[in-house]
Amino acid sequence: MDINLLWIPLLPFLGFLINGMLGNRFGNKFVNAIACGLPILSFAISYAAWSRLISEGTELHWNGFPWIWIEGLVEIPFALHLDGIAAVMCMVITGVGSLIHLYSIGYMKGDPGYHRYFAYLNLFTTFMLILVLGDNLLLMFIGWEGVGLCSYLLIGFWYEEDANCAAGKKAFIMNRVGDFAFLLGIFLCLAHFGSLDMSTLTDATAISALSAETLSVPLLGSVSVISMIVLLLFIGATGKSAQIPLYVWLPDAMAGPTPVSALIHAATMVTSGVYLCCRLMPLFEAAPAILAIIAGIGACTALLAALIAFGQNDIKKVLAYSTVSQLGYMFFAIGVGAFSAAFFHVVTHAFFKALLFLGSGSVIHAMHHEQDMRKMGGLRKQLPFTHLTFLIGTLAIAGVPPLAGFFSKDEILFAGYQQGFLMGVDSAALFWGISFLTAGMTAFYMIRCVALTFWGESRVDSSLEGKVHEPGGWIGFALFMLAVASIVGGFLNVPEFLGGHATLGHFTGLHGSAASHGAAASFSPEDLHAAEWKSMFLSLAVAGSGLLLAYYCYGKGHALRTRFTGSGVGRWLGRLSHRKFYVDEFYATVFVRPFETISHLLFILIDRILIDGILVSGSALLTRGLGNWFRKMQTGFIPGYLLTFGCGVLLLIYMMLSLIQQGGAQ
């Protein structure tokens, strides 16, 4: 069977066009059929392509057409390519994305912008699929920019409120910072590789040929071309995937509808930076100094976001910072060379994070859009199914076996342990310690979230007590499917020391990274397996400690929590965490307000004074003055007109006689 890859992104794009133009005319049932049916068809084609890839072992191409072509300089085709990593991502995007579309039928019921919402959702899916399938960096960049645009449209979907519009603009502008670096990286690739094709950028011979070339960079001095390209691409990834210092837009993205939060945080956008690094694995491995920076930024982001999550009372904000923290884990894995572990965590994270966000949406829907966990409590009685699925997602993200998060997070921690302690890389050991500590913190703040929302005595407003009920319908179906995926998803890549075959890693081609080869060459399989068991028990111990401590503080009793929060240090730390370490205020003081002041001054000087005052108003005043002067000549007095006419005739006669005399003299 011939599979045309173009249909995978084209089907949801058709959904965007149809619903955007006709959805408001034909009603919600028509919108539902188009908006949900076409991504499901896209999932079916992705599954067929994945099956063919497994059975035949042949990567799929759609060559398309010449896109940008300058003879002798550059040739960039519009082409799609599906290999192992792209096939898995397409299945995650269309699979989880389709469930989010179905969930939205119940969640967005009655919204006046119903058809517009689903049109944007389809467009979001389209651009993410283009990003994943693009056979060159420029086409990937088109998808990259497209998901940024869609995030702006969906975060600010309820644009009637200024805060939602501000959140959309914040996401859009902060992503432009990273995107500028990504664009510079693309230019460098084109200048030095002579091509933007993925096959060229990951070719060992081409990378080796450039390894000795350097650039003179202001402030940095002489830097290798490969390192500079990797650094710029990573800065681009920090914007999309919310790493220090460009992470502050992601928590504000909660302003949009909850299914949008699930789509951004789980199936699309924020994982695109990790995907970029994994897609260009050979290129990144050629810049070990930059990988060390990536590991450090990832570990520090994971820790900072976890500390902030401790002090949040908005259920969606807790999940938002947990996303930032988990993305930090993924970049830590990339930094220590564990690309397979990073990509595996992308997949499992999509399952349990979508489950958690949609579970929070079920709570918010039942609570009539209340998001403050301090006004909840005891909801497991009214929302038993939501409580069960949310708890499954919580245990998965905490790394409890045999749920999905256990396998992927343990693989990341072992990769750091391996490089830090077995291979003696001091920085990796430090960053492993940070990530190890963060694993316990993740378990703590997620159980806190469950306890404040579902356990204990009810703090629900009396006016809502009798109205809280389980949503059911498509909402319940999506939660069930994601709960199943969160339970079994980890078995996609069971490590060899547990009797598995690291199936996902081998299928995507990421298992054979240079770091894993180096460890395999230096240590016997028995030593590596012993280290894996040790790392696994350590990660289980720290996760279990976090779970038990949180249960003791929030689930069973409150004495320890009350004693800590009542102390001076506890109050100070709580305020610091709740205010997000004042990073937003710092950015506002150092960047936002000075730029606002400068832009306001330029507005007054250039727009108001120069353009409006001099060019526009000045030209109008000049025209009006000339008009007034000429108007005085139109008096309506006929003898005056005759006198003027006569003077004009005499002037013409005089000029003609003068010309005749000059001609005769010559």
- pLDDT tens per residue across span 453-482: 999 888 888 887 778 888 878 999 999 999
Same domain, 323 and 369: yes
- pLDDT at residue 559, rounded to an integer: 63
- Output the pLDDT for position 477: 95
Least trusted range by pLDDT, from 66-70, 190-194, 474-478, 490-494? 66-70
User: Has residue 166 got a pLDDT over 80?
Assistant: yes
528 and 463 within one domain: yes
Burial class (CB in 10 A: 0-12, 13-18, 19+), 581: middle
Asked whether residue 255 is assigned to any structural domain, the reply reads: no
Q: Could you check whether the bond before residue 245 is cis, i.e. omega within 30 degrees of 0?
A: yes
Please provide the average confidence, as pLDDT, over all residues in the chain: 89
**If you average pLDDT over residues 47-70, what whole number do you get?**
87
CA distance 147 to 438: 29
Instruction: Return the structure tokens found at 131.
Output: 């990003």
Answer whether residue 25 is part of any domain.
Answer: no
Q: How confident is the model at residue 659 (pLDDT cuts 50, 70, 90)?
A: confident
Contact status, residue 340 vs residue 508, Cβ threshold 8 Å = yes
Q: What pLDDT does residue 266 have?
A: 82
Residues 6+ apart with CB under 8 A from 468: 366, 367, 379, 382, 383, 460
pLDDT value, residue 515: 53
Same structural domain, 599 and 536: no
Mean pLDDT of 244-248: 92
| 602, pLDDT greater than 70 | yes
Residues of the chain with pLDDT > 70: what percent?
94
Name the domain boundary from 578, 607, 626.
578
In a domain, 512, yes or no: yes
- What confidence score (pLDDT) does residue 110 get? 87
423 and 468 together in one domain: yes
The whole-number average pLDDT for the span 101-115 is 93
- Are 507 and 606 part of one and the same domain? no
648-652 average pLDDT score: 90
- Give yes or no: residues 332 and 456 share one domain: yes
Domain that holds residue 536: 287-578
Mean pLDDT of 506-525: 64
Greater pLDDT, 123 or 560: 123
Asked if residue 444 has pLDDT above 70, the reply is yes
Q: Is residue 423 part of a domain?
A: yes
Q: 605 and 511 in one domain?
A: no
Mean pLDDT on 586-597: 92
Q: Is residue 163 included in any domain, yes or no? A: no
Distances (CA, A) of 400 to 334, 352, 360, 486, 553: 23, 12, 20, 11, 19
485 vs 77, higher pLDDT: 485
Whole-number pLDDT of residue 118 = 96
Do 504 and 610 belong to one domain?
no
d(CA 303, CA 25) in angstroms, rounded, equals: 49
Rounded mean pLDDT of 328-340?
94
| Residues 506 and 373 placed together within one structural domain of the fold | yes
Dihedral (Cα; 206, 208, 209, 213), 10-degree rounding: 120
Residues in the chain, how many?
666
Q: Mind listing the pLDDT tens digit for each residue in 560-587? A: 676 766 677 778 888 999 899 999 999 9
279-319 tens-digit pLDDT:
999 999 999 999 999 999 999 999 999 999 999 999 999 99
**pLDDT of 514 above 70:** no
Q: Tens of pLDDT along 365-416? A: 889 889 999 999 889 999 999 999 999 999 999 999 999 999 999 999 998 8
* 89-95: average pLDDT: 96
Prediction pTM value: 0.89
Q: Residue 370: left if φ>0, alpha if ψ -120 to 50, beta else—which one?
A: beta
Number of domains in the chain: 2
Same domain assignment for residues 550 and 446: yes
Cα–Cα distance, 62 to 51 (Å, whole number): 17
**Mean per-residue pLDDT, 18-27:** 91
> Is residue 206 in some structural domain?
no
pLDDT, position 615 = 82
Considering the domain architecture, whether residues 476 and 542 belong to the same structural domain is answered as yes
Residue 249 has a pLDDT of 93
Who contacts 349 (Cβ-Cβ below 8 Å, separation ≥6)?
266, 271, 326, 330, 397, 405, 408
- Identify whether 634 is part of a domain: no
Residue 127 lies in a domain: no
pLDDT category of residue 22 using cuts at 50, 70 and 90: very high
The per-residue pLDDT for range 606-646, each reduced to its tens digit, is 888 888 888 888 888 888 888 887 776 666 777 777 888 88
CA 508 to chain centre: 22
Residue 664 has pLDDT above 80, yes or no: no
Query: Do 607 and 499 belong together in one domain?
Result: no
Side-chain-side CA neighbours of 48 within 13 Å: the count stands at 13
d(CA 654, CA 508): 94
Q: Side-chain half-sphere of 566: how many Cα atoms within 13 Å? A: 6
pLDDT of residue 518: 52
